[in-house]
Structure 1
Amino acid sequence: MIMLISRSGRQNQRYENGRRLIAGCIPYRFKADQSNHDKCVQSLEVLVVKSQKSDRVLFPKGGWEKDETVEDAARREAMEEAGVEGLVETQLGIWTFNSKGSKGGERVAHVFPLKVTNLQDHWPEKEFRERRWVSVEDARKRCKHPWMSKALDQLIMRERERHGMAFN
């Protein structure tokens, strides 16, 4: 059996002007919506994970380390926190926020869409985090961080432009 563990420690973390650099992603997929009996419509779903410290839901994110690209860091965080693999697409944006965690301080988050291709049954943080597919509407209601909501809005806008349709 392979032991799955998350990276830990701060010695390899990237910083810029005293701010910790974060990489994250919004895992997503399209699901056929059969509720409209006239035609099959695709609905956009995103994967959220439960915070380790509260009942809040988040998109996978974490420290960007010196030995990886920002895309690799986003991919790693998706696997560690949510047990998903997929295609990292063009960055949605960069957001600055203040962390309320024990270390506090300002963070700079680079956020990417991750089109999910594989869900693992076991992942490093499975014992600590629940993952759940939710509608865009549900994600917007449950996401407590304004910068994550803005990243979600960017993903929705990009997918509307790409597919020429609205998503719930």
Structure 2
Amino acid sequence: MGTSLNIDLTAPGARQLPKRTHVQYAALCFRIREGKVKVLLITSRGRQRWTLPKGWPMAGLSPARAAAREAWEEAGVRGEVLETCVGGFTYTKRTSPHPHMALVYQLEVVSQEKKFPERGERKQRWVSPKRAAELVEHPQLARLLREFHPHLRKH
């Protein structure tokens, strides 16, 4: 069973996000091969750092569905997304003075296509969660990857 992140910033004593924090939704894409969990990392477009597919909220889509859409656009994967947030991480962007937070939703990949909107713009790599944690630069994301235990869909 994976850990869930329930964020209630209205609870007494809750840590507030800094004003103007930009929230994005990320997909922690995984598959199971020969009994082993593999997660998908992609590179960012600018600095080519390993990360998860992520993007902005989209009208008409839940955060989980927005994360799944980003996974398709940035990595060509489709699958079953869990509506429960499994974690989050904060980061900065060169293009913005404001802090960013990515809320992460797991996506069990059922297909990966060769043609997708951002093909050729990013590298992709399927690795163990432990190796993924070593490759990413964000400490919070590394911890989330190290501790990742997927919720499996019913087949």
Larger radius of gyration: 1
Aligned to 2:118: 125
User: How big is each residue's C-alpha offset from its partner over 1:116-145, in whole Å with a ceiling of 9 and x where there is no partner?
Assistant: 011011111112011121122221111111
Aligned to 2:20: 18
Instruction: Spell out the pairing of 1:100-111 with structure 2 (5 A cutoff).
Output: 100-111=93-104
Cα separation, 2, equivalents of 1:142 and 1:64: 26
Q: Is residue 65 of structure 1 aligned with residue 50 of structure 2?
A: no
Of 145-154 and 135-144, the range deviating more from structure 2: 145-154
Q: Is residue 54 of structure 1 aligned with residue 47 of structure 2?
A: yes
Identical positions, percent: 28
Query: 1:112 Cα deviation (Å)?
Result: 0.9
Tell whether the 8 Å contact from 1:87 to 1:114 is kept in structure 2 after alignment.
yes
Gaps of 5+ in 2: 1-17
Query: 1:57 Cα deviation (Å)?
Result: 0.8
SS in 1 for 2:93: coil
Aligned match for 2:29, one of 27, 30, 37: 27
Counterpart of 1:57 in structure 2: which amino acid? W
Query: 1:28 Cα deviation (Å)?
Result: 0.4
Counterpart of 1:83 in structure 2: which amino acid? G
Aligned to 1:92: 86
Cα separation, 2, equivalents of 1:84 and 1:140: 21
Tell whether the 8 Å contact from 1:98 to 1:105 is kept in structure 2 after alignment.
no
Tell whether the 8 Å contact from 2:26 to 2:103 is kept in structure 1 after alignment.
yes
Gaps of 5+ in 1: 1-15, 33-41, 163-168
Aligned to 2:37: 44
Q: Is residue 113 of structure 1 aligned with residue 115 of structure 2?
A: no
